[in-house]
Amino acid sequence: MATSTNGNNKRRDVALSSLAPRKINVQKFSEARAAELESLHSIVSDRLNKDFRSKRNKRRRTNSYNNQPAKRRYIKRQNSESLIGRSSGGDHHETTITRRVKRRIELKGNPVSGFSASGDGTKRLRTHVWHAKRFTMTKLWGFHLPLGLHGRGRGSRDVLKQSREGVLVHDASYLIAVQLEGPESSLLSILNMLLEPSPSSHSKEVFDSILTGRSYENAMLYNVNPPVSQAIAPVIYMWRPSELPKRSDEEEDGDCIGTDGAVSNCDHVDFRKLWVWIHASSFSEGYASLQVACQKQMNETGVSVDCVSLEGHLAKLEIFGPKASHLLQKTLRPATSSSEEPSILRKCSMENAEVKFVTDLYKEETISSCAVLAQFVMDPRLIPNSPCDDSTVSVETAKTEPTNSLEITTKTGAEIFTEVFKRLWDANSDLTPPEEENVLCWEKHQNRMDSLCLENPAAEVPKVSSRARSSRSCPLLLLKHKKLGNAPTGWSLILPLSWIKVFWNAFLSKGAHAIGQREKRWVSCDVGLPFFPSDFPDCKAYSTFTLSEAADMEEKAQRRPPAIRPFKIPIPPPWNSIHVTRSIVESSSQNLTSNDETNGTEISSSGGNLFDGIVARTSDSLTTLLQTFRSDNLLLFPHNASKPSTDAIKKTLQEDETKVRAEIHQKSNKLCLVRVLLHAFKEGSFEEGAVVCAPSLADISLLKSSCSEGEEGRVTIPQSSVSSYFQEQPSGTWELNVPEDDTLTKQSHRLPIGFTTTGFVRGSKKQKAEAFCDAVLLGRLRDEQWRNKDVKRRKKETYVLVRNLRSCAFRLALATIVLEQQESSSDVYCF
């Protein structure tokens, strides 16, 4: 009985709601209910004693509608809009637009290409307004870049926690791509001339994957000027997908995954394109080197190779963290049907993986390292926050899509794949910007009003710019980061510059944590990867960056009173002072025998490259170093670790004889450093610029003893020698001060073998510092520590002493050579 009653009530409510009027006339409604309203008014008046004034203790800001500052801002905004309309209409005689209004228009706009610039020519990122409100901005490499969160540079614990548990996002639009166009053989010749490791030095499987565009590769870019090349910057190079050329030793044809032109199997004369991504600090130098190499190739072979800069056309977003793949699943929704997308992606970069759903495409276990994925994705602003049916979203998108938009929902997977590369890889293509925000907001408002069965006759169509076309789908490339050690899972998104703000806001709204330059360096040090340019002392960008830091620190020091002003330390570190240590070790003497050796420690303080030497970043160059010095004491490959075989050494020497061996012979009297990771043995915190010294066996036994306490168990130098360890000359150069008279100072003095470039980071679970040490001195130091020890007791790490430049205490540390621990044979990956 109750059930039937409830059913009748529901049917009656439905009938009443269906008969409810769409509009209500207030005047007629009040006339019809006049008696009820009068009775209600009488009841209220009796309760208030006919006093309708609000009590003073219950009053609120009832005059908030009459906000004078808000009125003034509204009037200014209206005047600005009227000025903008007059200027766009051609009326420039009445008044001019102020600088503030021009800057607001410029920052609010979203042109198809190019960066907006300040008065001094410094470019702004498309996310400049968002960063400027939350980060400390700095001028670096021609850009206004976010340095880090406001404050004293702390907060590393929270950032490292986010990198281990959440997801981080970084706007890397300051990385600029250079596009090379020409025959494949000419492009390979240029890459082999400039890059280390060269593409031909990889295995056949890796080489074919890179050449066909299924994956990208990291390398070090060098100058083309003979006879000795100079390192420029770490780069990423990637080929436009094309058909794999058929070789003589192959029976099966390669998979065609692109449309880069026909391939000639006899002479490989096919037109190809490739991108070389260069850091902004070394872009001018790297771009000039590529142009010189193209001109040299043309002079030698007569074949023209075009070199075009894509600055202001493409942007790059970096996402890393354990939840990075989950963030991509929520944000990137393919514009095609899910049945076609997996087959295309499987063909381009996941040939051996079985992909069943679109949501599984970003999982770490299904995609190989350094893979390149091409996708056409929907505008993330069209994806609702609440989960709903995908068909509903696609229907609403198609309904609100303008006729001049470039939507490709009806194309097949192969056509989409071709369209992505056609738009992104063509330097002269017209990259369509996204739909304007006010248009999407107006459409969402109209859909919401229709869902509530309400009409809004006063709604006007929003004003749009004079752009010819706009799109609601974006072509992009997904680059899977190389998995090295404990590095977090990472992705890089390459997309048109006009789409950067759309995806930036989408990632942040879905839980991503934005970081700047300082936070990115913290994460790179935590995982043991180099950060450019701070950890590349052989590059000119490192010298320029450190000199600017030295000038800033000197300016801050001059503001402090002389009584509390810290003494000056050398920035950048005096790398050439290692020559003194090498000469003393080679001569087996504790004193400098002549003034000529002392003069070798001077450094030029000019704006050029202050580092005079080379850095061995590949196993081939390090093996060549061993063969060059022909010494059995250079134990740079432990016997129980990844020591190369004799055949591998011969092969690498034959392949790199024209490059690596000639370079080391030309620099036989210069430094050759290797990158090492420093771990404190018991205690100590290593700062940037700390000096790494060679310990004696007595120092090691003293510092390893657990019962030593106080000053007797420490290795120190006199406090008076801390500020005079390196002496600044009147010319601005720095020299290593080797004591000669004072016996106590002479006994406590330790000679440098390297310097740290990145110190410890607070909050790291296993703190480590990055340093560069001389390979010859490090090998001889290891030989001294291994002598008279069993093979089982020999450690891969080498004991060294580390001292901060403003401290008098040496700390015992374990130095791990990176090239000995990595699975790959190169150390050119930059975080």
What does the pLDDT look like over 274-315, one tens digit per residue?
999 999 999 999 999 999 999 999 998 888 999 999 999 999
* pLDDT(444) > 60: yes
Q: Taking residues 502-525, report their average pLDDT.
A: 94
Count CB neighbours of 646 within 10 A.
7
Beta strands, E only, 367-482: 372-378, 473-480
237 has which bridge partners?
217, 276
Q: According to the model, what pLDDT value does residue 102 have? A: 78
Predicted pLDDT at 640: 35
Instruction: Quote the Cα angle for 379-125-527, to 5°.
Output: 90
pTM of the model: 0.79
Return the minimum-mean-pLDDT range out of 50-64, 467-481, 557-571: 50-64
User: Which runs of consecutive H residues, i.e. helices, occur in 117-267?
Assistant: 128-134, 156-165, 184-194, 204-211
The average pLDDT across 709-724 equals 77
Interval 122-149 mean pLDDT = 93
CA angle 524, 525, 528 (to 5 degrees): 90
pLDDT band (50, 70, 90) for residue 173: very high
Rg (CA), the chain: 33
Q: pLDDT tens, 211-232?
A: 988 899 999 999 876 445 789 9
Dihedral class, residue 265 (left if φ above 0, else alpha if ψ from -120 to 50, else beta): alpha
DSSP string, 613-670: EEE--BHHHHHHHHHHHT-TT---S-TTS-PPPHHHHHHHHHHSIIIIIHHHHHTTTS
Stretch 486-514: mean pLDDT: 91
Residue 745: the pLDDT is: 65
Lowest mean pLDDT among 71-75, 77-81, 125-129, 628-632: 628-632
pLDDT tens-digit map of 338-362: 333 333 333 333 333 333 334 455 6
Greater pLDDT, 822 or 415: 822
Q: What is the per-residue pLDDT for 493?
A: 94
- Return the structure tokens found at 213: 């565009």
Average pLDDT (497-505) is 93
Q: State phi, psi for 203 to the nearest 5 degrees.
A: -70, 165
Look up residue 532 and give its amino acid: F
192-197: average pLDDT: 90
Phi-psi region of 202 (alpha: psi -120 to 50; beta: other; left: phi over 0): beta
How many angstroms separate the CA atoms of 584 and 418, rounded? 63
Three-class SS state of 449? helix
* pLDDT band, residue 760 (cuts 50/70/90): very high
Q: What angle is formed at CA 268 by the lines to CA 262 and CA 273, rounded to 5 degrees?
A: 65
**What mean pLDDT do residues 394-401 have?**
42
> What is the mean pLDDT of the segment spanning 356-369?
60
3-state secondary structure 681-699: CCCCCCCCCCEEECCCHHH
Q: Residue 634 to residues 675, 676, 777, 778: CA-CA distances in angstroms?
A: 16, 16, 8, 8
Q: What is the pLDDT of the chain when averaged over all its residues?
A: 76
CA quadruple 707, 713, 714, 720: dihedral sign: positive
Q: Which two tokens stand for residue 729?
A: 């000359």
What is the pLDDT at residue 167? 94
Q: Are 241 and 233 in contact (CB under 8 A)?
A: no
Higher pLDDT, 752 or 85: 752
Sequence-separated (6 or more) residues with CB below 8 Å from residue 250: none
